Amino acid sequence: MVTYPDIGDTNYFTNRALENKAGEKKGKIIMWRNKGEEEFHMILTCPECGEVNEKKQAFEKKPYRPNCDSCGAKFVIAKLKADKKKK
Ligand SMILES: [Zn+2]
């Protein structure tokens, strides 16, 4: 059972679809950081292997690059505006 944060207690929250290498949006990530904490909480459903990773991880700088502990796939949480510029 996942405990979602109270949005008012966070200073970062994102909910994204994740694509696998074939470009299929089979995965997703929900990631947030509570105020006063260094580590991010994340629930990452890996689009490559289907594993659900629920863990805490600290990132030193943007863009954040969470990974799947099961298969090692890495994902970049790019800024949404930056995504639009690329296309
Ligand atoms: Zn994986």
- Give me the pLDDT at residue 79, please: 79
Ligand 1 centre from 74 Cα, in Å?
Answer: 9
- Give me the pLDDT at residue 7, please: 86
Give 14-54 pLDDT, tens digit per residue. Answer: 999 999 999 999 999 999 999 999 999 999 999 999 999 99
Contact present, 40 and 32 (Cβ < 8 Å): yes
- Give me the pLDDT at residue 84, please: 54
Taking Cα atoms as reference points, which of 67, 65, 64 lies closest to residue 55? 67
Ligand 1 centre from 53 Cα, in Å?
Answer: 8
Residue 2 — very low, low, confident or very high, per pLDDT cuts 50/70/90?
Answer: low
Ligand 1 centre from 8 Cα, in Å?
Answer: 31
